[in-house]
Structure formats: structure tokens, C-alpha cells
Structure 1
């Protein structure tokens, strides 16, 4: 049996799209909201099974990887998040690069030697790696309008991954993946004027407009913290809103705080675009935190710890 385990954001979806367009195979899909990263807990493999893992931290899933290997499965693991110690095993193949300007889809693009690069460009834009996306697209001879199309698609796919549960999203990530898999090129999907894409676009712009009306909880000129209301739209927009603010103010660090279903906060952190470092280290100081150097998060921050988080964020990215 084949298992495809992937993050429900643009990077995870587009990474799997590239692989399955190049190497079609039937598989059990295992995915979820963006913050649902211990996905391997759901996989109970048997000897000879193949498990492909895309865009979730090996650091968070190492015990499950070791369990799958002990069960006799073969594991192909591609990721750009904090990895920690990588197990050594003949049945484990890893493509891991934690560079702040790398994403999983670009690693898959390298592995496939550019067969479906336009999907990798979509993913890089979705992860707010705009310069990396433009570099990857440099050989595709795209017009400025086409680049804008890929960027908007990436942002909208990524937008669909945020929420405290799948019910918060416009579409379950596995359903969105299956829809996109029918199109070899993102331009085919865009030109088809698919109702799925129209719904994502409308939702994104509506939620963004609401978020832009919220005043910052904290702003010291170097660090901005925004606490969004306890609503579904706020949980949907929090990640891409952080990217939006980072692009507008690239010298500042940003944290978008939303309410979770545990009575606390979920936090999305964006390091300054001019200094994409330390976000993963900062968030990993908290029990449910992690991510990558330029963008990370905390799944559950107790309400009483918000002042301490803001203090640490300010110390991390404040004036030297």
C-alpha cells in the first residue's frame, strides 16, 4: 500500500501534485490543517508499504518515522522545517534543506528536474518566498501577468490551510489536492475558471479586508503583534495575513494571534523579511511551537503567557 502524507498548505499540496503528476500511483491520502503536523501518527504501515512524507517537520515526527521503519515500510521524506537528528536506515530516503529561502515544493522540483516547475512556483509564492519563486520561474518565460496569476493562486491555496479544524476551511486539503491533480499546469486550472478557485479568491479578499480593520495589540516600531477576534474568518486568515504584513513592512517582525479551541491562543510568527532567521527557535521555546527560520508558530499558547511571548519576541527582533 502507498501512503501520501502531506501538509495541507500550498507547499505540501503542490509538492505532492508534482510527484503524482510525474509518478502516478494510487495512495491513501493523509493530511489536515496547516498546523496538523504529526500526521504520521495516523499511518500504520505493513512490510513493503511505501510512505511519502511532504512538508512536515521530521523533528516532530521522528518517533513515528522510526516506528514505520521498524514496521518494514519504506519512507521518502521531503521537508524544509526543523529536522533535528535524521535517523539512519536503509529504507529511509530524505531530501531536507532548512534554508530560509527553500520550500518542500522546490526540493521536489529539484528531484524531478523541473518537470512541473510552475506548480513549485505556486508553492513558493504561497509560502511567501517571493524571491525564490521568481528565481525558479526565471527559465519559464512567463509574463508579469502570468507571474501574478501564479502568486495569487499560491496565496489562495495557502489561505485555505489555516484554521483550528478542517471545518474552518473552505475545502478539506485532500479534496483541494484531488481537484488540482486534474490539471498538469496551474494555468490550466486558472483558465478553467473553476468554482473552487473563485470561492477561495472571494473568501481570501473578504477575510483580509476584515483583518485590516483590527488595530495592533502591540507595536514598538520593530515588532507588531495583532490579536484577531475569536471567529472562523480570523482563524482562516491569520497565516496569510502575517505574510501580507511582512511584505508591507519587511524590516519588522510580526505575530498574528488567534483564539484556539483549547481556550488559549494560536500564534503565527513572521521574521523580518530582511532577516529571515530565528522564528523557529523562538516558537520552539514554547511546548507546541515550531516551524522554519522565517515563519513559525505556536499551536497553543495559554492566555496568561501572551505578555511573556511578546517580551521574548521583542527581545528577539528589537533594536540591537
Structure 2
């Protein structure tokens, strides 16, 4: 019998799996990729009697494969906070799905493990831009402002590493980053180790973000601001974290961050207003290759000619 760990390559997916594997170590085949690579179950060749853990990957986008696995006799543990579609009713499926806009997969796993590795869950929540929720959890643990600030930075850096057109754009392959992080008992241990991924990613992040911060908006009104980033690996790496920073800076507005692609399309990251964390998934799902969750969503390939429509739909949605 074999086991497979299938997880999103961002902070939420990596740190959700880290919590589970610290609690219950398993020799598992790992399946992951860039943050936008969400059809991960198709790469899993589990057979009858095998088991699969799926974390931070939309059930709706993998429903056909999931049903086929269950029919085959594969047992599946599934935790996620994205659109689920109709959750299969099977004794082989242990589903932990919570679509609340103020939670993430690592917090779902944290609840499942009764807070056993909460520091890691807090870092993940910060990385997924659940700032208020993470602040509250940190305060409940008695963490200082400085400790919370560090966990926020660490979560942001791990999340930043997940963005790219392919794993070649990333500083660490998500599987490699997971293995490196597993070696640390506490997230604070990375700060003590000058050779840790924290310091490597921090330097790269600061360099990449300096480019984005020099850009002027492509469009802005009272509901949405739009930025267009050039076709460079730097742009692809910062697109998500730059959108989070903009959302935190101006919480009453939505933010669209588009990155030019070589095939004359845009890759889109949409952040709903932090004061109104809903609708991003609805807007993006109206376009081919679009999807996500209520507070943050994206479109993998938006045609150039559809940009004005996207901006109009976003502005109209949040003007209501």
C-alpha cells in the first residue's frame, strides 16, 4: 500500500502538510507544483488500497479524478478552503472543507490537530493574507508584536516562493522547500539559522519587490486599482504577494495585478477588498481558466481583448 501527499506549492499547502507530517510521519510520494498548478490529482497514480492526502487544492477542479479514485477503492483525506462543488459521499473520503473567507487550509488542519503546531499555522495564515485572523491567534498564544511580525514575514516569503509560470521561476521547488522546513522544530528556528530558507527568500523577495513598487497603476477608480507587470520571472514571482500588499495598504478597494505572458495573454491575480472579502471567485470564474476563492482569485490566461471587460466587471461588482 502506497501513500501520496498532494499539496499546493504555496505557504498554505506546504505548512498544512508540515503540520500533518510532524504529527503523523509517513513515507509518501509528494505531488506539488507552482501555486496555480491545481489539477494535481491527475498526476496521482494511486490504486486500490492506497491512501491520498490532498491539501489546499480546489475539490471542484479535481472532482472527476477524486470520484474515480474513490470508485477505485482509494482512501482520501481532503482539507481545503476553495470552491468544492458537490462533495462526494463516500466512506473512503474524510473531507474537511471550510469556505469561510477568513480561513485557510493550514487553519483547518490546525483545528483538526487541536493546535499542536499552531505557530506554523499562524505563519501560513499570514502568508495567505489572513492578517486579522493570524494576529488574533498570535495574541491568544501570547506572542509579542515582533514575533508576530516575523511569522508574517516568513509566511509571506514561503507564499512568494510559490508564484511562477513553472517551477523554474521559483527559488525552491515546493517539495524541496517542504523538506527543508520539516527539519526545523519551530518557525523561529529559521531565524537562528543564517543558512535557512528564510534568509535566502528574504533577499530574493526584497530584490523582486523593489521592481514592483516602482510601477504606476494602469487604471484606478474608487473601487479597483489595476497594475500590469512586465513579462519577466521577477513579475511572476511577486504577482501574488504584491497584490496582498496592495490590498493591505488600501483595504477598501479591490486590486488586479496582471502579468504579461509570452503568448499575448495576462496572468491575473485579483484581491477582493479586505473590508469586503467576497466575490473574487465569482468574477474570475466568469473567464476561461479562472477560479479561486471569495477573497482572492485568479485567471491563468486572460486574452488581451478581455482586459477592459475584467476591469469593468470588477469595478461594477464592488460598486454595488
Please tell me the TM-score bracket, short chain as reference.
Answer: over 0.9
CA contact (8 A) 1:59 1:85 kept: yes
* Equivalence map 1:15-94=2 (5 Å): 15-94=16-95
How far, CA to CA, are the matches of 1:50 and 1:261 in structure 2? 39
Is 2:312 the partner of 1:314?
no
Q: CA deviation at 1:261?
A: 4.8
Q: Which moved more, 1:64-73 or 1:225-234?
A: 64-73
Query: Cα distance, 1:46 vs. partner?
Result: 1.1
Q: Runs of 5+ in structure 1 lacking a partner?
A: none
Please tell me whether the aligned partners of residues 55 and 104 of structure 1 are also in contact (alpha carbons under 8 angstroms).
Answer: yes
Residue of structure 1 equivalent to 2:97 = 96
Distance 2:283 2:37 in 1: 19
Partners of 1:280 and 1:292 within 8 A in 2 = yes
- Which residue of the partner structure matches residue 126 of structure 2? 125
After superposition, the C-alpha distances for 1:90-142 in whole angstroms (9 at most, x for unaligned) are: 10010000100000000000000000000000000000101111222233221
Instruction: Determine the C-alpha separation between the residues in 1 that align with 2:221 and 2:244.
Output: 19
Query: What is aligned with 1:297?
Result: 298
- Residue 177 (str. 1) matches residue 140 (str. 2): no
Equivalent-residue separation in structure 1 for 2:97 and 2:276 (angstroms):
22
Following the alignment from structure 2 to structure 1, what is the Cα–Cα distance between the partners of residues 139 and 107?
14
Q: Tell me the distance in 2 between the aligned counterparts of 1:199 and 1:81.
A: 30
Q: Which is further off, 190-199 or 60-69? A: 190-199
**Partner Cα distance (1:5, 1:308) in 2:** 35
Q: Secondary structure at the match of 1:298?
A: strand
How far residue 192 of structure 1 moved from its aligned partner, in angstroms, is: 1.5
Which residue pairs with 2:156 in the alignment?
155
- Are the aligned partners of 1:45 and 1:72 in contact in 2 as well (CA < 8 Å)? no
Equivalent-residue separation in structure 2 for 1:260 and 1:79 (angstroms): 29
TM norm structure 1: 0.98
The corresponding residue for 2:144 is 143
Query: In the aligned structure 2, how far is the partner of 1:111 from the partner of 1:44?
Result: 27
SS of 1:76's partner is strand
Distance in 2 (alpha carbons) for counterparts of 1:104 and 1:193: 29
- SS in structure 1 of the partner of residue 5 of structure 2: strand
Task: Give the match for residue 203 of structure 1.
Answer: 204
1:194 Cα deviation after fit: 2.7
Shift in Å, 1:188: 1.3
* CA deviation map 1:37-95 (0-9, x unaligned): 00000001111111000001001010010111122110000000011110111100100
Distance 1:46 1:214 in 2: 50
CA deviation string 1:203-257 (max 9, x = no partner) = 1111111101111111012210100011110010000000000000000100000
Number of aligned residues: 319
Moved over 4 A (4+): none
Find the counterpart in structure 2 of residue 220 from structure 1: 221
Separation of aligned partners in 2, 1:110 and 1:179: 24
| TM-score between both structures, scaled by the size of structure 2 | 0.98
Q: Offset of 1:199 from its aligned partner?
A: 1.7
* Greater CA drift, 28-37 or 221-230: 221-230
- SS state of the match for residue 205, structure 1? helix
How big is the alpha-carbon RMSD for the aligned residues of Structure 1 and Structure 2? 1.0
